[in-house]
A and B are shown apart, each in its own frame.
Chain A
Amino acid sequence: DTGVSQDPRHKITKRGQNVTFRCDPISEHNRLYWYRQTLGQGPEFLTYFQNEAQLEKSRLLSDRFSAERPKGSFSTLEIQRTEQGDSAMYLCASSFTGGNYGYTFGSGTRLTVV
């Protein structure tokens, strides 16, 4: 068990380009969460999955954002037509149903839109 892995660690993209991030949760964790964090702020909830089902999406997640978790394993978060306001740290966390809801976070993907 190597914890929650996120790839890439850093991404610099030009405005208008599409980007995709990947998260590999702890293997026995069936819940997966995406959060976004901007400088000086706490993480803000974006969406979460139980197994392959996406159960809730925040209003922060505009139509340009889409997340998937095929087969209930890894997850991807795609941002289409990136804007400068999308620049942030994108954090993934996983947990296990029936446990104590304690999270394990990944190290995050830092997105910079130029």
Chain B
Amino acid sequence: EVQVVESGGGLVQPGRSLRLSCTTSGFTFGAESMSWFRQAPGKGLEWVGFIASKAYGGTTHYAASVEGRFTISRDDSKSIAYLQMDSLKTEDTAVYYCSRDSYGHSPIDSFDFWGQGTMVTVSS
């Protein structure tokens, strides 16, 4: 059974940092690219960034709104993807989700399992 669990959220002051984790099981994590998404309170869904599998170079790409402040990494030995968030702004307040991406394979078995999300509140 595929499981995805996001964690690490909390209350943080503007300008500070936070690291989120996306812990997975039930599939071959190392073979999958992973994306992070977010949803601000009362708003729609927004893609945050992506990390390719090692087979595709482990490259990363980010939304313009977080480029230069957020960094995605992965630990294939633990089946975990990370989202390092630096220089946080109040507009980064959102629930953050992760899911396996379609990069490098069919849209089937992609973006299929999402966790409950982890809430990040940026406020002084």
B is a partner of A: no
Which B residues have a C-beta under 8 Å from some C-beta of A?
A: none
Which A residues have a C-beta under 8 Å from some C-beta of B?
A: none
